[in-house]
Amino acid sequence: MANAEQIAAQIMSSKSLCVSSSWLNSFLASSQRNVPVSALTKTALFRVLASDIRESLTTNPTSLFPVDISDPAVQERRIPGPIPVQVLDIEDIGTSLWSQVEAIERIERGEAIRGREIVRTVNVGDDNEGAETGSSSNAPAGAPSVSGSSGSGPHRLILQDANGTKAVAIEMQHIEGISLEKLPIGAKILLRNATVARGMVLLNVNCSTLLGGKIEALDKPWKEGRKARLLQRIDSMRDEANQSG
Amino acid sequence: MTSVIGHLTGLDFDHQYKGWMSCPPGALFEAPVQEDVDKDKKPIADNIRNQARYSKALFIWTDCDREGEHIGSEVRNQAKAGNARIEVKRARFSNTERAHVLQAAREPVELDEYQANAVAARIELDLRIGAAFTRLQTLQLQAVSAILKEKIISYGSCQFPTLGFVVDRYLRVQNFKPETFWSIKVMLQREGKKVNFLWRRVHLYDRAAVTMMLERCLMAKQAKVTKVNQKPKSKWRPLPLTTVDLQMMGSRFLRIDSQTIMKVAEALYTKGFISYPRTETDQFDKAIDLKKLVEKQFPDNQWGQYAKDLIDGKFRTPRSGRHNDKAHPPIHPVCWVSASQLNVNEKKVYEFVVRRFLACCSEDAKGQGTDIEIQYGEEFFHASGLIVLERNYLDVYVYDKWESSQQLPNFERGEVFEPTEANISEGKTTAPSYLTEPELIGLMDANGIGTDATMAEHIAKIKEREYVVVNTRGSGRSKVEELIPTRLGIALVEGYDNVVAGLPNSISLSKPFLRKEMELRMLEICAGSKTRQEVVQQSLDMYREVFIHTQRRIEMLKAACRKYLNEQPAS
């Protein structure tokens, strides 16, 4: 069992992930003997990142969200952590849902894939010498950007801890690696000293470390169902508007 | 000295292929074709042959562009038929101003066979592809709906992508779903002025997140000035005028449709007032004496004084764009003409060409810009101000607007203040508007549909075929002419899109890609890197593939027509 302890210690020191001993034991039982510890550690880490952390990590209270994390009555609190979490959902809240649908449809029609064969769009009447008029040329409110999803974010994520508690997180500052294309569902993030405001975890460069990984069983259906979900949300938004107005 | 009117000859299928039922439409990809002098051009051709008999040399003065080169080659063929030993030269010119014409006459050049061949290839491709698809779709679709019974449903490889742009935008407008977004606005009252700061994030589509962000701003109480930038700003004078720009700007500022603009511009060119109006070049050659052209505008009582000021020291060498067709200079006035000698449209177009030219030869407009950025909580906001100091080219180019904004009060970098107001504002996304003609020209240009010389014709064609109608919205200065597809127009685009849906590497005829590839091959003929035969074969193969798919899946095309044409409008 010296192996199990060594591996757990290494993953702990390199990634601050506390692997559960039952998960580690079954991992070791299924792996070949006579493999050096360093190689085993590598494989174990890869598997952890591809796993559901509710099964692979321990539920130590300091590495979990407070159970009432989503309470909107709490104006601000700090959670020291470190808390490993996995991404269950990601949305771009800087781009309208409809323009994201249009972008997906362009890809479905094959227009974005064949490379040079993109119907080029033009902006008549826009100042093509924007250099001098400065920021007043900001995207006109409401007009969806011509290229569809700009992917600029910020993004809203749904994160889950090892106990299964979920929380909404907002990307307050651009974080490299957080984008619809680059961040798969099931990717692991480590939160340290994160601020939670009105039930939302505020992500910035200092408090979040992207560990990578993904959960294939979640990522694939998420991608396939994205357009349908966007359309559904657009519909439900309209229903709400009709009811309230 | 004699003249021609456009092309002398036409290309057509041999007699036995001319009837609509004479052969399967697909046979037209290979059916023999023949070049003949058009019936109504026979006297012109006879005249050229006769005159050639008594002449030693032929000097061709057709327009200096691809079509002109091809017409020149037709003239030469007739002349050689009359007199095999006749010497043939062509004049290279781009306006009809006296000195320029004399210069061209002194230095004649050879006809450019490459360019003539490119046109010949284009004519053959347009004939074969156009006839094959027109026959196929007309014969198949006539039976589908009573409305189509007597109709010829024509196909053209430029028309369809042009229609495709109109339909694409129309569907985007129809399908659009509005959404609510939220923004944070910060206002400060200082020195009796209200300064509005705009959010760097512009707006977000999540109310809870925006509310939380605003709360965190308010919690911070104080905002801090992080940047104060004072910098000179300038608004650049326009580039020299190309045909596409003339059509786009013309339909936007002068409210004349692009085809009319081109007709008017041609009339002005023929009368010698402006240079050749078909050009892609947006840079003036160094050899051209621009000051002399400016001087010619002295007599005008609207911009004459401006022209004098240019010559008295304000003249600047025009900016150079990136395009040069190596045949013609940018469109510019050749000499001055009194407005009283021009009709209404001529006056507008001439005035635009002159003002644009004078603007090109002027100094940029100069101003002083101020950008202020503040950090409030974790969020950033900015305000900017502009003072126009020197209007320069704007004085003559009345179409551009650049005005001073409200003046900003003073801010110091690092200072902190408490904003007077910070709140959330709500807005809704709005649908794009229907396509306008200037936008359509821009799309055609960007996607390689047609040439500067033919774009306006393609647009006129889809209107004439009743694939598209023009809808006028608003009135007076805010009048907008929108292009709306008819039911038939939508049905054709949807039908052809469905024909290739799911087929790998097949491109719908409603998309610009096939035609663009063909257009690029024309350029290869002009450059001498491909022969006319190679290009014709390659392009025919490309379209034949789509033709075969269309034949096999013709049901899809019919279904689309049934869907849009036979559906009873809801009463």
Q: Order the strands of the A166-171 sheet from edge to edge.
A: A77-79, A194-197, A200-203, A166-171, A155-160, A83-92, A188-191, A208-212
Model pLDDT, residue A244: 60
Domain's final residue, options B404, B428, B452: B428
Give the three-state DSSP class for B174: helix
B226 burial class (0-12, 13-18, 19+ CB within 10 angstroms)?
Answer: middle
- Chain B partners within 8 Å of A170 (Cβ): 206, 209, 212
Residues B225 and B334 in one domain: no
Residues B290 and B261 in one domain: yes
Residue pair B139/B552 in contact (Cβ under 8 Å)? The answer is no
Q: Which residues contact B409 (CB under 8 A, 6 or more apart)?
A: B190, B191, B193, B195
Residue pair B336/B302 in contact (Cβ under 8 Å)? The answer is no
Give the three-state DSSP class for B335: coil
Inter-chain CB proximity A200 and B209 less than 8 Å: yes
CATH number at residue B513: 1.10.460.10
Residues B439 and B552 in one domain: yes
Mean per-residue pLDDT over chain B, rounded? 89
A vs B, Cβ pairs < 8 A, gives 122
Does B496 participate in catalysis according to the annotation?
A: no
Q: pLDDT tens across B391-417, in order?
A: 999 999 999 889 888 788 889 999 999
List residues bridging with B426 in a β-sheet.
B182
Please give the torsion angle defined by the CA atoms of residues A206, A210, A211 and A215, in that order, rounded to the nearest 10 degrees. Answer: 150
- Chain A partners within 8 Å of B447 (Cβ): 119-120
Closest CB to A98 among B176, B252, B443: B176
Orientation angle between helical segments A226-244 and A216-224, nearest 10 degrees? 60
Min Cα distance A2 → chain B (Å) is 48
Residues B147 and B249 in one domain: no
Residues B438 and B561 in one domain: yes
Domain's final residue, options B318, B333, B360: B360
Model pLDDT, residue A148: 37
Work out the pLDDT band at B425, boundaries 50, 70, 90: very high
State the SS3 of B196-241.
EEEECCCCECCHHHHHHHHHHHHHHCCEEEEEEEEEEEEECCCCCE
Model pLDDT, residue A114: 46
Q: What pTM value is reported for the model?
A: 0.79
Residue with tokens 């697909």: B26
**Please, which residues 63-92 of chain B have a Cβ atom closer than 8 Å to chain A?**
none
Residues B260 and B356 in one domain: yes
Residue B120 domain-assigned? no
Residue pair A84/A188 in contact (Cβ under 8 Å)? The answer is yes
Name the nearest CA neighbour of B58 among B123, B136, B2, B133.
B2
Residues B149 and B72 in one domain: no
Best of B162, B198, B204 to substitute, by most chain A Cβ atoms within 10 angstroms, is B204
Q: pLDDT tens across B223-232, in order?
A: 999 999 989 9
Min Cα distance B542 → chain A (Å) is 15
Q: How many domains does chain B have?
A: 4
Give the C-alpha distances (Å, rounded to integers) separating B310 from B182, B363, B445: 50, 9, 33
Look up residue B491 and give its two tokens.
Answer: 């049905």
The backbone torsions φ and ψ at residue A231, rounded to the nearest 5 degrees and listed phi first, read: -60, -40
Residue B3 domain-assigned? no
Best of A101, A119, A152 to substitute, by most chain B Cβ atoms within 10 angstroms, is A119
Tell whether the model's pLDDT for residue B246 goes beyond 70: yes
Model pLDDT, residue B571: 42
| Type of residue at A204 | N
Residues B417 and B469 in one domain: no
B552 CB within 8 Å of a chain A CB: no
Look up residue A178 and give its two tokens.
Answer: 């957080």
Name the nearest CA neighbour of B162 among B468, B500, B453, B434.
B468
B281 burial class (0-12, 13-18, 19+ CB within 10 angstroms)?
Answer: buried
Angstrom distance (rounded) from CA B271 to CA B274: 8
> ∠ CA(B392), CA(B395), CA(B400), 5° rounding?
95
Inter-chain CB proximity A117 and B513 less than 8 Å: yes
Residues B548 and B440 in one domain: yes
Tell whether the model's pLDDT for residue B483 goes beyond 50: yes
Active-site hit among B276, B467, B543, B564 = B276
Per-residue pLDDT of chain A (245 residues; tens, 9 = 90+): 557 888 888 888 888 888 888 888 888 888 877 788 888 888 889 999 999 999 988 888 889 999 999 999 999 999 998 999 999 999 999 999 998 998 888 777 666 544 445 566 555 544 433 333 333 333 333 333 333 344 578 999 999 999 999 999 999 999 999 998 899 999 999 999 999 999 999 999 999 999 999 999 999 999 999 999 999 998 888 777 666 64
Work out the pLDDT band at B258, boundaries 50, 70, 90: confident
B502 CB within 8 Å of a chain A CB: no
Work out the pLDDT band at B192, boundaries 50, 70, 90: confident
Closest CB to B378 among A119, A172, A234: A172
Min Cα distance B234 → chain A (Å) is 6
Name the nearest CA neighbour of B161 among B468, B550, B505.
B468
Domain's final residue, options B332, B360, B388: B360
Q: pLDDT tens across B153-174, in order?
A: 899 989 999 999 999 999 999 9
Residue B374 domain-assigned? yes
Give the three-state DSSP class for B373: strand
Domain ranges of chain A: 2-56, 62-93+151-214
Fold observed for domain A62-93+151-214: OB fold (Dihydrolipoamide Acetyltransferase, E2P) (2.40.50)
Q: What is the DSSP letter of B329?
A: P
> What percent of chain B is modeled with pLDDT above 70?
99
Look up residue B437 and give its two tokens.
Answer: 């003609």
Task: Give the residue numbers spanning the domain of B273.
Answer: 243-360
Closest CB to B252 among A122, A125, A200: A125
Name the nearest CA neighbour of B163 among B495, B451, B452, B431.
B495
- Chain A partners within 8 Å of B172 (Cβ): 102
List residues bridging with B367 in a β-sheet.
B233, B388
Residue pair A76/A196 in contact (Cβ under 8 Å)? The answer is yes
Residues B141 and B78 in one domain: no
Closest CB to A139 among B179, B202, B386: B202
Closest CB to B179 among A76, A96, A102: A96
Model pLDDT, residue B446: 84
Element (H, E) at A115: none
Min Cα distance B379 → chain A (Å) is 9
**Number of alpha helices (DSSP H) and beta strands (DSSP E) in chain A:** 7, 8
Inter-chain CB proximity A198 and B208 less than 8 Å: yes
ipTM: 0.85
- Chain A partners within 8 Å of B251 (Cβ): none
Best of A90, A126, A136 to substitute, by most chain B Cβ atoms within 10 angstroms, is A136
Q: Locate the chain A residue with the closest alpha carbon to B231.
A: A132
Residues B544 and B502 in one domain: yes
Closest CB to A96 among B248, B429, B507: B429
Inter-chain CB proximity A129 and B211 less than 8 Å: no
Look up residue B500 and give its two tokens.
Answer: 């290739």
Angstrom distance (rounded) from CA B563 to CA B43: 50
**Range from A31-40, B419-428, B533-542 carrying the lowest mean pLDDT:** A31-40
CATH number at residue B380: 2.70.20.10
Question: Is the model more confident about A160 or about B100?
Answer: A160
Mean pLDDT in residue range B117-146: 90
Min Cα distance B446 → chain A (Å) is 6
The backbone torsions φ and ψ at residue B178, rounded to the nearest 5 degrees and listed phi first, read: -70, 150
Residue pair B476/B526 in contact (Cβ under 8 Å)? The answer is no
Work out the pLDDT band at B264, boundaries 50, 70, 90: very high
B211 CB within 8 Å of a chain A CB: yes
Residue B2 domain-assigned? no
Cα distance from N-terminal residue to C-terminal residue, chain B: 66
**Range from A133-142, B123-132, B245-254 carrying the lowest mean pLDDT:** A133-142
Angstrom distance (rounded) from CA B72 to CA B63: 9
| Type of residue at B568 | Q
Residues B277 and B380 in one domain: no
Residue B73 domain-assigned? yes
List residues bridging with A77 in a β-sheet.
A196
The dihedral through the CA atoms of A130, A133, A135, A136 has a sign that is: negative
